[in-house]
Amino acid sequence: MKLTLPHLARPLALAVALALQACAVTEPARSPVVDMPAAFDAAANADAAPQITSDWWKGFGSPSLEQLLGEAQAGSADLRIAVERMRQADIALQQAGISRLPAVNGSLGASVGRSDGPAVASTSRESTSAGLSISYEVDLWGRLAAGVRAGEASLLASQEDWKTARLTLLTGVANNYFLWLNTAERLRIARENLAIAERVLGIVEARQRNGVATALEVSQQRTAVLSQRTALVPLELQLRQTASALALLLGRVPQGYEPAAGEFSALRVPAVSPGLPSSLLTRRPDLSAAEAQLAAADANVEAARAALLPSVSLSASGSLGTSALLSLADPTRSVSLGLSLAQAIFDGGRRRLQIDTTESQRVVLIENYGKAIRTALKEVDDGLDNVQRSERQEALQREVVVQARRSLQLAELRYREGSGDLLSVLDAQRTLFSALDALATQNLARLNAALDLYKALGGDWAGPPPPLS
């Protein structure tokens, strides 16, 4: 079909008229209605703390932790998977962008034919042809542009998902490392308690030899020693299992792995200000990802609505042909221009149902985004409460340890001098061991509370996503 400019005028006028309906394709983007509070309820005591920084994990004062975090980023399979998902989203965006470009096709052919028959002389035919065609879809309704916007939003969401995976990985490494140090500390306390029990057993046995202590007292103290030895077993098992769990997060084989030694008591608990609640919308990667997914859903709705309108395509083609083989000398030429309008007349409502589906998916994303914002606000408030509560509990527990240690010293002194009984020593020993073990557990709770607060605030682990090769 060959079209001249007069022939194209009427379809173009029709296309312009239809373009006036494009306003029906788009609608204002919707977002969840969440009344953001002016401040966090539990942030009164944290206002004087420093703002969160990109390298806040250094506030724990552990070079070993910093080394583990670097190793985890290099060896984690989860991060490599997240990078590949980013790459897939980038490829999809490139494909959406290519759809807006003209399609160019070329052809080249040569043929030889021969015909024989009883009534006619033999004849041979030779021909050579070359052709070039160009087609282009005019994006009058913005369907292709909406696809590109959806691809850009999906790529942004995948980048935020990578940040979420990174935050989850690194907080997991820190949690496991703190637990490993805490278990090692509790094991040290249990061994010290065993040493105390063995020392008291030596005193009791010496008193028995001098006829002061009874066989019952010796038996009671030996039972205490055996109980303390038994208490070491689960702690040693937990230490090994925590090390193997940490090895998996680092991308290592768990067999035989043991983290670098460190002092649990040397860890510091950094203080941080949560900032304003509105900052969560840009700081937390899961919220940023939800917002990007919502933007992609808006673009998908627009593309689905544009699919109801006629598609407009321009085409041009040219060809050369000759009766000579492998030669285009003295060719015949043909050129054609075309414009086509295509409109689905009946598809059983498939396109309408597609619009309904994308709109429903967008509503779900809006509700999920609002729920995620409210959940984030609660997590920060809970984190602030836990930090303050654990700090108070740790201070009180330290006083308990001081008094329990003094009680044991006095009980041992009275028993050694013969003015006290063994049961008082045993009771004081159990009290001190329980107090020290509870203090170590409370120290871990305070460290984890600080870590959970950083995670609730979005972590801000520094650095953009890795470049895609």
Average pLDDT over residues 384-391: 92
Query: Is residue 469 very low, low, confident or very high in pLDDT (cuts 50, 70, 90)?
Result: low
Residue 304 makes CB contacts below 8 A (sequence gap 6+) with: 351, 354, 355, 357, 358
Q: Report the range of poorest mean pLDDT among 108-122, 285-299, 379-393.
A: 108-122
Residue 79 makes CB contacts below 8 A (sequence gap 6+) with: 73, 162, 165, 166, 169
pLDDT at 44: 57
Average pLDDT over residues 23-31: 59
pLDDT at 50: 62
pLDDT higher at 1 or 105: 105
pLDDT at 9: 46
C-alpha span between 303 and 429 (Å, rounded): 74
Is residue 46 pLDDT above 60, yes or no? no
Share of the chain above pLDDT 70, in %: 87
Torsion sign, CA atoms 198, 204, 210, 214: negative
Q: Report the range of poorest mean pLDDT among 387-401, 412-426, 432-446.
A: 412-426
C-alpha span between 233 and 256 (Å, rounded): 18
pLDDT at 239: 95
H/E stretch holding 464 reads none
DSSP sequence for 284-328: -HHHHHHHHHHHHHHHHHHHHHHTTSPEEEEEEEEEEEESSTT--
Query: Is residue 120 very low, low, confident or very high in pLDDT (cuts 50, 70, 90)?
Result: low
Q: Report the range of poorest mean pLDDT among 17-31, 198-212, 218-232.
A: 17-31
Most confident segment among 67-76, 267-276, 343-352 = 67-76
Token readout for 396 is 């009180």
pLDDT at 29: 63
C-alpha span between 214 and 218 (Å, rounded): 7
Average pLDDT over residues 253-259: 91
pLDDT at 51: 66
pLDDT at 20: 42
